[in-house]
Amino acid sequence: MHIPDGFLDLKTCATTYLASGGSLVYGLRKMRNKLGEEQIPLLGLMGAFIFAAQMINLPIAAGTSGHLLGGVLAMLVAGPWAAFFIMTSILIIQSIFFMDGGITVLGANIFNMAIVQVFVGFWIFYGLRKLIKSPLVRAFVAALVGTLVSAMAAAFELAISGTIALKLVFPAMVGWHLLVGLIEGVITVLIIGYLMRVTPERLHFIKREGGELDV
């Protein structure tokens, strides 16, 4: 899903940079007193896993690619803002050292994968609490829908920039990421199910289940 340099126009790059930068400033304030030392090793392991998973790319169209995102998985383990920083760190490293996504479009890639997927997944997971009791089922739905909406955001950015017509890029992105989302949903359920058994006290959604939403 990483968008390369040259595929978005100036207005789209600037707008997404502003949105991502504003989220970064706000997120730093939110996380200032919430991140404990005991969480850092788990966040590091989560970041390393997601980084490795994102390196497996499936070509789609117009220079774009599809791959596992991992934002919903990180959100369920650590909460939305911690997941935002995990994803942002991964995307910055990939763009600078691995040429996976460009520098000029880094704001857009952060917006799509660190903001859209994470927070769409967050609100879906918690919004379905009364309708779907099983947290694993909700985790699957959140990962699937979050991935699809993230792909839609990328498609609209490419279309708005005049890179490719929406009628071409939208079905390509959504079609491929429907498959990616299904796989991501399964992987998310497997990992969360395992963590529920071995270390439930470290899982953000377990601690907040039935309580006030912590955004």
The boundaries of the domain holding residue 202 are: 10-208
Residue 2 belongs to a domain: no
Instruction: Report the 10 Å Cβ neighbour count for 100.
Output: 19
Residue 1 belongs to a domain: no
Alpha helices in 128-163 (DSSP H): 135-160
Question: What is residue 3's DSSP assignment?
Answer: P
Give CA separation, 63 vs 3, 4, 34, 166, 190, in Å.
Answer: 8, 7, 39, 15, 31
Give residue 213's pLDDT: 47
Separation of alpha carbons 188 and 203, rounded Å: 13
Q: Which of 21-30, 74-83, 173-182, 193-202 has the lowest mean pLDDT?
A: 193-202
Q: Could you tell me which residue, 154 or 198, shows the higher pLDDT?
A: 154
Give residue 211's pLDDT: 46
| pTM of the model as a whole | 0.87
pLDDT digits (tens, 9 = 90+) for 61-113: 555 555 678 899 999 988 899 899 999 999 999 899 887 778 999 999 999 99
Averaged over 9-23, what is the pLDDT? 96
Give CA separation, 115 vs 19, 82, 87, in Å.
Answer: 9, 11, 9
Residue 52 belongs to a domain: yes
Residue 43 belongs to a domain: yes
Closest CA to 183 of 139, 144, 135: 144
Residue 199 reports pLDDT greater than 60: yes
Residue 3 belongs to a domain: no
Per the structure, how many domains does the chain have? 1
Query: For the chain, first and last CA: distance in Å?
Result: 26
Residue 73 belongs to a domain: yes
Give residue 57's pLDDT: 66
Separation of alpha carbons 169 and 166, rounded Å: 5
Instruction: For residue 59, name the pLDDT band (cuts at 50, 70, 90).
Output: low
Residue 33 belongs to a domain: yes
What CATH number does the domain containing 181 carry?
Answer: 1.10.1760.20
**What are the backbone angles phi and psi of residue 125, rounded to the nearest 5°?**
-60, -50
Residue 200 reports pLDDT greater than 80: no
Residue 214 belongs to a domain: no
